[in-house]
Amino acid sequence: MDKKNIDWENLGFGYIKTDKRYVSQYKNGAWDEGVLTEDDQVVLSECAGVLQYAQTIFEGLKAYTTDDGHIVTFRPDLNGERMEDSARRLEMPVFPKERFVEAVVKTIEANEAFVPPYGSGATLYIRPYMFGSNPVIGVKPADEYQFRVFTTPVGPYFKGGVKPLTICVSDFDRAAPHGTGHIKAGLNYAMSLHAIVSAHKEGYDENMYLDPGSRTKVEETGGANFLFVTKDGTVVTPKSDSILPSITRRSLIYVAEKYLGLKVEEREVLLEEVKDFAECGLCGTAAVISPVGKIVDHGKEICLPSGMSEMGEITKKLYDTLTGIQMGRIEAPEGWIKVIK
Ligand SMILES: *Cc1c(COP(=O)(O)O)cnc(C)c1O
């Protein structure tokens, strides 16, 4: 298979149209068998449920080339399970996780020429999503849906080296108590746009959202979960019902315990105690972990001892071990790597 003529090392994180995408339609109470198509356009009624009431959910994962030349993806079954949960919460039909994995595999296979080569640092980003497609004007769930998967090659996350982030404690909330913070829905992102644009204007890379009930506990950023490391080397991650259950975070916790022999605590984390941590990182599919160097709470600066020029020592070990597992350099736990070919 000839690869596309793309400057992999210099790719950014943007949309590039690839050859094929997967589409399955839900109508009269059932999903059709699904097809791969070259047509990248979605044509909808002006009154489609997704356009009026934002009935849409998504997932994000990556495919890449390993050390020994296989194309693989990482724990797609967990993305499939999470999308089932998201669908139930927004009264959408469940696209079964087994079919989800099959659709992801087919879409990667059909776009093999866009899977970046090993060592380039680039990956093929995979975006499964689902939305209500028929006209809905009275507020209720749609009756018809589309489940789709497209792919787009994306560049190395840490292009030009690792740069620890500066984040600010936001005055906005990301998720309501008993709301939708724990599902991967477009609506959570729509309402975070004003907060992130405001943070960028003030020179911050990201927002740290607090629990909306008491505004004393750390939740997450707009698109990544927090991992902290204490001065005695314990990995701590916030526990809350309104945090999105990051697959990267769950994998890193396993790596911390089982590969690195570290103590891990999943518990409420007070903003008050953040100043005592040694390291802080943001975890998600895009970066695996991005180190945080500084957290600003209304003018009060918390400078992590790991500093503004490199990853903290344990953050780096976690990063190296998980990326080693993903790239086939370190043996993976059973079931983590789905080999496409
Ligand atoms: C997708 C997402 C994450 C990261 O989840 P991964 O499964 O690790 O990619 C974290 N927070 C939010 C709000 C997200 O939408």
**pLDDT tens sequence across 195-254:** 999 999 999 999 999 998 999 999 999 999 999 999 999 999 999 999 999 999 999 999
Give me the pLDDT at residue 158, please.
Answer: 80
Q: Is the CB of 224 under 6 A from ligand 1?
A: yes
The protein residue whose alpha carbon is closest to atom 2 in ligand 1 is 223
Q: Is the CB of 225 under 6 A from ligand 1?
A: yes
Mean pLDDT of the chain: 96
> Cα of 26 to ligand 1 centre, how many Å?
26
Place of tokens 């913070």: 181
Indicate if the pLDDT at residue 36 is higher than 90.
yes
Indicate if the pLDDT at residue 308 is higher than 80.
yes
Indicate if the pLDDT at residue 162 is higher than 90.
no
Give me the pLDDT at residue 193, please.
Answer: 96
Phi/psi at 163 (nearest 5 deg)?
A: -125, 110
Q: Is the CB of 186 under 6 A from ligand 1?
A: no
Q: Which residues are catalytic?
A: 184
> CA torsion angle for 198, 199, 203, 205 (degrees, to 10)?
-140
Q: Say if CB 122 and CB 60 are below 8 A apart.
A: no
Structure tokens at 95: 């696209």
Give the integer Cα–Cα distance in Å for 97 and 249.
20
Q: Is the CB of 220 under 6 A from ligand 1?
A: yes
Indicate if the pLDDT at residue 8 is higher than 80.
yes
pLDDT one-digit tens code per residue, 73-117: 999 999 999 999 999 999 999 999 999 999 999 999 999 999 999
Q: Which residue among 78, 79, 172, 184 is best mutated to probe the pocket of ligand 1, counting the most ligand atoms within 8 A of its Cβ?
A: 184
Say which amino acid occupies 191.
Answer: M
Q: Is the CB of 307 under 6 A from ligand 1?
A: no
> Cα of 28 to ligand 1 centre, how many Å?
32
Q: Identify the helix (H) or strand (E) that includes residue 182.
A: none
Q: Cite the beta strand spans of the chain per DSSP E.
A: 21-27, 30-31, 35-37, 56-58, 61-65, 71-74, 123-132, 145-154, 165-169, 206-208, 225-229, 235-238, 264-267, 279-284, 288-297, 300-303, 337-339
Higher pLDDT, 158 or 136: 136
> Cα of 5 to ligand 1 centre, how many Å?
31
Per-residue CA distances from 143 to 30, 72, 93 (Å): 10, 35, 9
